[in-house]
Amino acid sequence: MKFGNRVLKAAALATMMMGATAWGGTWKVAVGDGGGSAQETLGLKFAEIIEQRTDGKQKMALFLNGQLGSEQDTVNELAIGTLDFSILASNNLAPFSPSLGALSMPYLIRSVDEAEKIVNGPIGEELINNTVRDAGARILGWTFSGFRVLSNSKRPVNTLADLQGMVVRVPRNEIMIDTYKAWGINPTPMAWTETFTALQQGVVDGQDTPYITIYSMKFQEVQKYITDLHYLFLLEPLVVSESLFQAQDASMQKLLVEAGKEATTYSVQWLKEQEDNIRGELVDSYGMEISTPADEDKWAQLAVEKVWPKHYDSIGGKEKLNVILRAIGRKEI
């Protein structure tokens, strides 16, 4: 799934046809999650900055709840230049740019601070360059959505034993699929746009997403129990079509990059301010039950021992993980 050369040629043609400046009007932004989500919050902040600093000449329209297609579909649209922007989970961008798979390695990122160090430093720059090369899309900013927690409609999951027999939806991501297999179950890969209906109809018992996403997607209407896991900190990049980016003059390119960084900072603060409130509302207003697994060290041990070695090659080698581990001050493997 490599679109880099085609996109760069399209960008050069677009620049010749449109001149030095290719902005004005309204850019479309695909958003996988619903209103009130961390994705929407990042998108609105980014749009606000762009509109303010162009004196309202450049506007942006957000299309929520996967209206413009599945998250992976939007990557194809970005690559061929038929979509302007997308906000999507890093695990849905990873099939197009494999080095992003490192962000899905279970129990690699263990805090918001570690996530910030990764995406705001040299590792983040490498991920941007790789995604331009591999997918024809440029990462401008990052949504900080929090740890993916497990929700289900069947029973409290307090231990790994309680998970057995559960039918759990996961994205079509091999690292996440193998993580659940390491925990003893065979998960059900499913597109994000199909997940609510599958939960509602009992096709699957549960899924994992951050608290904020559970709330924004109204999963509390079809799920009762939450297990407060910390296996995967969800980072969701804001990406722009590389052909659109290259068609801009230097001042607009600079504005896009700056707006992405400012929106990322805003997303981090918003998560810190809102996550506890939303967690409380899920319990107090919707009656969800939240439990903390007593044996998460066992979940972590199984995931790291069985999943990490299997996917070293897919993310570019074991050293890729060591670079990240060094950056966040953890012991190398």
Tell me how far apart the alpha carbons of residues 134 and 239 are, in angstroms, rounded to a whole number. 13
- For residue 177, the cross-strand partners are none
Tell me how far apart the alpha carbons of residues 308 and 321 are, in angstroms, rounded to a whole number. 9
pLDDT of residue 202: 97
Q: Please tell me whether residue 62 adopts helix, strand or coil conformation.
A: strand
Angle between helices 112-119 and 122-135 (to 10 degrees): 60
Tell me how far apart the alpha carbons of residues 50 and 301 are, in angstroms, rounded to a whole number. 44
- For residue 168, the cross-strand partners are 206
pLDDT of residue 17: 39
pLDDT of residue 21: 57
Cβ-based neighbour number of residue 309 at 10 Å? 11
Tell me how far apart the alpha carbons of residues 70 and 171 are, in angstroms, rounded to a whole number. 11
pLDDT of residue 16: 38
pLDDT of residue 22: 76
Select from 147, 151, 165 the least CA-distant residue to 289.
151
CB contact set of 38 (below 8 Å; sequence gap of 6+): 143, 144, 145, 146, 210, 212, 213, 216, 236, 267, 270, 271
Q: What is the pLDDT along the chain (333 residues), one digit of tens a residue?
A: 444 554 444 444 444 334 345 788 999 999 999 999 999 999 999 999 999 999 999 999 999 999 999 999 999 999 999 999 999 999 999 999 999 999 999 999 999 999 999 999 999 999 999 999 999 999 999 999 999 999 999 999 999 999 999 999 999 999 999 999 999 999 999 999 999 999 999 999 999 999 999 999 999 999 999 999 999 999 999 999 999 999 999 999 999 999 999 999 999 999 999 999 999 999 999 999 999 999 999 999 999 999 999 999 999 999 999 999 999 999 999
Q: Which domains, from first to last, does the chain contain?
A: 4-144+235-276 (3.40.190.170), 149-232+279-327 (3.40.190.170)
Tell me how far apart the alpha carbons of residues 138 and 141 are, in angstroms, rounded to a whole number. 9
Find out whether 293 and 228 touch, Cβ atoms under 8 Å.
Answer: yes
Token pair in block for residue 304: 């790291």
Q: Full-prediction pTM beyond 0.85?
A: yes
- From first CA to last CA, the distance across the chain in angstroms is 30
